[in-house]
Amino acid sequence: MTQPLSNLSALDLAEPVHESPLVIGTRGSALALHQAQFVADSLRTVSGGRAIHVQIVTSEGDLDKSSPLTEIGGRGVFTSSLQRALTAQQVDAAVHSSKDVPSLSPQGLVLAAFPQREDARDAVVSRHGVGLKDLPPHPVVGTSSRRRAVQVQALRPDARIVDLRGNIDTRLAKAETDQYDAIILAAAGLGRMGWGDRIVTLLPVDQFTPAPGQGALVIETREHPDPAFALVAHIDKYHGRLALEVERAFLRGVGGGCITPLGAHAVIETVHGLDQVRFWGMLARDDGTGLTRVYDEWPGDRARDGAFAVAQALVREVHPNRVFGGSGERERQFRGMKILVTGSDHLVTRLVEGVRSRGGEPIVMPTIRIDAPLDPRALHEVVGFLRHGRFDRVVLTSQNAVEALVDAWKAPNAGPIWIAAVGESTAQALRESGHEPHLVAEDSRAEGLLDAMASVVVPGDRILLPLSDQARPVLAEGLVELGAEVSVVTAYETHIIATIGSDLERTMGQGEIAAVLLASPSAVEGFIAQAGHLLPALSGASFVAIGGVTADAMLAAGLPVHAMPQTPGADTMVEALAAYLWGNTVDERGDGSQT
């Protein structure tokens, strides 16, 4: 819910008659209001006299101050209300602490500016006046962060961690009581509020890695060409953005939320006029064990992909997803996990079986509907031609294409037909119809099939290419370039399902989905259409693409690709997810690129 900010009247300037004020949304804590005032003052320097108002938006995390963040975290509890207000056009911009922003943003919203970063380190506040190492034996340390708790216990194994929530002033007051020997807070928040003198010591990033984005502000707006985006972008800091995007790339690579102990910190240095990124990362299992640290350096233009790749490597080394209760044993690998599956009916059936066989709970999201062509005359015509030997070769890219030609497969042909299939599932459908494919291309992309057929196609070959009405033209164009006479026919129509069921929406919105299996570019489109507004709640999920084309579609939609099998198929998708979570032999993207 929103309410006007009445106790900071200095934030309201005289409103120009020709332009409505720009409304900034913020949480209502003292620190959040201080940060909003800083942003408002910064925007006034570039607003050309436009009025800037501030409006309080109460977050879920502010309403629920008793539940541990390990229970309610990981799904944007401090940002989701602000994002909803943005989408509903109740505010024009939202100010967040960058560390609170999930790794995935709702469709239609964008992180428009990273205007300021203070000291990103964590700070020790203690009534004893000493740092962690000098606290009394068996100290009681207060923090609500799993990341901080894990690193405290690495430095002081005898420490007892007590959950500590509340506004910064509330936590500082508790630090003075005999209930706590020390508490851990972000140095930036203390500095912004003028309470830096309460800091006993600052913890070095190589021993106590901050949260991704810690110490930084971020302003979120609706996507360009929204007027607020254009204004807010003026106060963006390039090096600050680069550092934070590198840290958030690491966060995306892990797929972690508030329950996953992870840290990331990037520093930008200019060497001979070029950006060089120094990076520290840490990851532990959800039960706090297996703490592992990493340090790396990259040129600025390679740092985002580098951080994502480092995160993936750490996941395979640490296996952080123990919170679900699973294990490396095959039948328990997905225990406690709700896994969203998408794709055609054929594929979904096999994905559901594969997920269940490893102890998971499959959640089916219908993203596409396959229909026969609205006008089937062209398809019927080529089926007749196929029966009478009018084609030298047939290229089939899916099980749906096989089914579309089933009548032709049942009738005797004038002569043998050479058949190419993309993927083992298509080949298996062919075999079940009584035909053995002459060529099976393991690469699901059109480019891979063209490479496989380059040594086979003879100029003048008559090739039948039955496709979806949504298929890319790359394959047909490539076959023509090889000298073939290509007949393209719509074998089936792919329709996107854009409406999400209420039960599924609730499950996804509550952050219960642990993994998402996306089986085609059309499935990606349907997924975004249905769940684009729920993406922050999926920031802790692992995303699996069936193949390279789908992976490209996922990246274009702003989704990460955590795993992808080299050979597309239901079984290989399930295996790729298991390998990503448990460190078995894993098939991954060849270039590791996420940009």
CATH number of the domain to which 287 belongs: 3.30.160.40
Q: CA–CA separation, 473 vs 174, rounded Å?
A: 65
Q: Do residues 99 and 231 share a domain? A: yes
Number of Cβ within 10 Å of residue 238's Cβ equals 11
Q: Do residues 166 and 56 share a domain? A: no
The pLDDT value given to residue 586: 39
Mean pLDDT of the chain: 88
Helix residue spans in 184-302 (DSSP H): 187-192, 227-232, 238-254
Summarize the confidence of residues 493-511 as an average pLDDT.
Answer: 94
% residues pLDDT > 90 (the chain): 69
Query: Pick from 239, 234, 238, 290: which is nearest to 262 by CA?
Result: 290
Query: Pick from 168, 183, 167: which is nearest to 127 by CA?
Result: 183
pLDDT grade for 2, boundaries at 50, 70 and 90: very low
The pLDDT value given to residue 167: 86
Residue 590 domain-assigned (yes or no): no
Q: Do residues 248 and 303 share a domain? A: yes
Q: For residue 314, what are the domain limits? A: 237-323
Burial bucket for residue 415 (CB in 10 Å: 0-12, 13-18, 19+): exposed
Summarize the confidence of residues 330-347 as an average pLDDT.
Answer: 90
CATH code at position 131: 3.40.190.10
Residue 207 domain-assigned (yes or no): no
The pLDDT value given to residue 9: 38
End-of-domain residue from the set 153, 178, 202? 202
Residue 588 domain-assigned (yes or no): no
Structure tokens given for 293: 């640290």
End-of-domain residue from the set 496, 523, 552? 496
Q: Do residues 424 and 333 share a domain? A: no
Residue 594 domain-assigned (yes or no): no
Q: Quick check: 190 pLDDT over 70?
A: yes
Which residues have CB under 8 Å from 194's CB, separation 6+?
none
The pLDDT value given to residue 91: 97
Number of Cβ within 10 Å of residue 190's Cβ equals 21
The pLDDT value given to residue 461: 95
Which residues have CB under 8 Å from 577's CB, separation 6+?
334, 339, 515, 517, 542, 544, 563
Q: What's this model's pTM, rounded to 2 decimal places? A: 0.84
pLDDT tens figures, 11-28? 333 344 447 999 999 999
Residue 97 domain-assigned (yes or no): yes
Q: CA–CA separation, 122 vs 187, rounded Å?
A: 5
End-of-domain residue from the set 185, 220, 236? 236
C-alpha distance from residue 341 to each of 24, 142, 354, 418, 518 (Å): 38, 40, 11, 34, 7
Q: Do residues 107 and 158 share a domain? A: no
Q: Do residues 340 and 476 share a domain? A: no
pLDDT tens figures, 42-99? 999 999 999 999 999 987 655 455 555 555 444 567 898 999 999 999 999 999 999 9
The pLDDT value given to residue 73: 47
Residue 587 domain-assigned (yes or no): no
Summarize the confidence of residues 185-196 as an average pLDDT.
Answer: 94
Query: Pick from 304, 300, 110, 305: which is nearest to 218 by CA?
Result: 110
pLDDT tens figures, 359-392? 999 999 999 999 999 999 999 999 888 888 889 9
DSSP conformation letters of 53-105: EEEEE--HHHH--SS-HHHH-SS-TTTHHHHHHHHTTS-SEEEEEGGGS-SSP
C-alpha distance from residue 172 to each of 133, 183, 216, 325 (Å): 20, 8, 21, 35
Q: Do residues 196 and 270 share a domain? A: no
Catalytically active residues, by annotation: 100
Residue 446 domain-assigned (yes or no): yes
Q: Do residues 227 and 300 share a domain? A: no
Q: Work out whether the CA dihedral 253, 254, 257, 262 comes out positive or negative.
A: negative
pLDDT tens figures, 101-138? 999 999 999 999 999 899 999 999 999 999 999 999 99
Q: Do residues 17 and 101 share a domain? A: yes
Phi/psi region, residue 508 (left: phi>0; alpha: psi -120 to 50; beta: rest), is alpha
Burial bucket for residue 270 (CB in 10 Å: 0-12, 13-18, 19+): exposed
The pLDDT value given to residue 98: 94
Number of Cβ within 10 Å of residue 498's Cβ equals 12
Alpha carbons within 13 angstroms on the beta-carbon side of residue 289 total: 5
pLDDT tens figures, 238-272? 999 999 999 999 999 998 655 789 999 999 999 99
Q: Number of structural domains, the chain?
A: 5
> Using an 8 Å Cβ cutoff, are 586 and 565 in contact?
no
Q: Do residues 507 and 437 share a domain? A: no
Q: CA–CA separation, 35 vs 15, rounded Å?
A: 22
Query: Pick from 426, 508, 506, 434: which is nearest to 467 by CA?
Result: 426
pLDDT grade for 588, boundaries at 50, 70 and 90: very low
Q: Do residues 383 and 463 share a domain? A: yes
Residue 539 domain-assigned (yes or no): yes
- Identify the three-state secondary structure at position 118: coil
CATH code at position 470: 3.40.50.10090
Q: Do residues 172 and 269 share a domain? A: no
Q: CA–CA separation, 1 vs 507, rounded Å?
A: 22
Summarize the confidence of residues 157-186 as an average pLDDT.
Answer: 94
% residues pLDDT > 70 (the chain): 88
